[in-house]
Amino acid sequence: MQINDERRLATLNLALGVQVYGEKLITLEGREYRVWDAFRSKLAAAIRKGLKQVPLTHGSKVLYLGVSTGTTASHISDIIGQEGVLFAVEFAQRVAKEFIDRVARHRQNIIPIIEDARSPQKYRVVFDKVDIVYCDIAQPDQTDIAITNCAYYLKPHGFLLLVIKARSIDVVEDPKKTFEEEISKLRNSGFRILEAIRLDPYDKDHAMILAQKMPSNL
Ligand code: SAM
């Protein structure tokens, strides 16, 4: 979208008139859009940095690990629309409450799950396999957690979008080496790596990995 001579990312607002994190609302030809800030959302940062394939589409089913107060999740909810479903996992009670009040309450395609992503067997409300697992939990074992959740809930040939925060895994190691190690874990667990994008300068020492679950992992 072109705003004041500048190209900006934006999504069609599913909750008319409702802002989530102070983002700009813009009406164009009778439709309301929410500007998507790459400094606030790592998925927007990855798109800005050249992520070629964004597997989200109208009607997608998504399992989101580490939804926090819903900045990125709200844009995913916009993209997948009324036909899609977003299962939103967050283990911090206070944060989850804020997410429900500010985001989920206004959107019928979101199902909040207040659980630890380390125990995917406890998500009783996930009624179907999903097309995409999105994981942004900033934990030292974040890749293992993502792989376990994919084993439970991701469809064959489904996609994993994994945010790797290098400093959560190893504070002293060169981030490049940490990213390579996490990518190897994914390969060894039957994922094909489609893209790996550094998120600097939007998010220092972070990378977004897009991987696909291959049949050997079924
Ligand atoms: N994805 C969010 C966004 O872009 O708007 C930001 C996520 S923030 C970096 C990480 C979130 O993951 C925090 O809210 C934290 O409470 C949550 N989290 C960390 N470990 C978790 C776990 N094991 N299970 C569920 N949530 C977890």
Q: How far is the CA of 65 from the centre of ligand 1 (A)?
A: 7
CATH number given to 37-213: 3.40.50.150
What residues does each domain of the chain span?
37-213
Q: How far is the CA of 169 from the centre of ligand 1 (A)?
A: 15
Task: Indicate the pTM of the whole model.
Answer: 0.95
CA distance 19 to 37: 13
pLDDT at 183 over 70: yes
CA distance 167 to 201: 15
Q: How far is the CA of 90 from the centre of ligand 1 (A)?
A: 6
C-alpha closest to that of 69 among 124, 22, 29: 22
Q: Are 44 and 56 in contact (CB under 8 A)?
A: no
The ligand 1 atom at the shortest distance from the C-alpha of residue 71 is 5
Three-state DSSP class for residue 51: coil
C-alpha closest to that of 136 among 85, 34, 209: 209
Report pLDDT digits (tens) over 3-31: 665 688 999 999 999 999 999 999 999 99
Which residue is closest in CA terms to ligand 1's atom 19?
137
Q: What pLDDT shows up at residue 185?
A: 97
Q: How far is the CA of 70 from the centre of ligand 1 (A)?
A: 10
Which residue is closest in CA terms to ligand 1's atom 16?
92
Pocket around ligand 1: residues whose beta carbon is below 6 Å from it?
Answer: 41-42, 66, 68, 71-72, 89-92, 95, 116-118, 136-139
- Bond into 201 cis (ω within 30): yes
**For 166, what's the count of Cα atoms within 13 Å in the CB-facing half-sphere?**
22
Give residue 168's pLDDT band: very low, low, confident or very high (50, 70, 90).
confident
Q: What pLDDT shows up at residue 170?
A: 79
Q: What pLDDT shows up at residue 7?
A: 81
CA distance 143 to 14: 31
Q: How many residues does the chain have?
A: 218
Q: What pLDDT shows up at residue 126?
A: 85
Element (DSSP H or E) covering residue 95: helix 93-102
Residue range 25-53: mean pLDDT, rounded: 96
Report pLDDT digits (tens) over 117-147: 999 999 988 888 999 999 999 899 999 999 9
Which residue is closest in CA terms to ligand 1's atom 14?
68
Q: What pLDDT shows up at residue 3?
A: 61
Which residue is closest in CA terms to ligand 1's atom 27?
66
CA distance 128 to 61: 9
Burial class for 87, CB neighbours closer than 10 Å (0-12, 13-18, 19+)? buried
Report pLDDT digits (tens) over 108-118: 999 999 999 99
Residue range 167-174: mean pLDDT, rounded: 80
Q: How far is the CA of 139 from the centre of ligand 1 (A)?
A: 9
Query: Which of 75, 86, 136, 148 gets mutated to test ligand 1 (max ligand atoms within 8 A of its CB)?
Result: 136
Q: Which residue has the tokens 């550094």?
A: 198
Residue range 38-51: mean pLDDT, rounded: 97
Q: How far is the CA of 213 from the centre of ligand 1 (A)?
A: 23
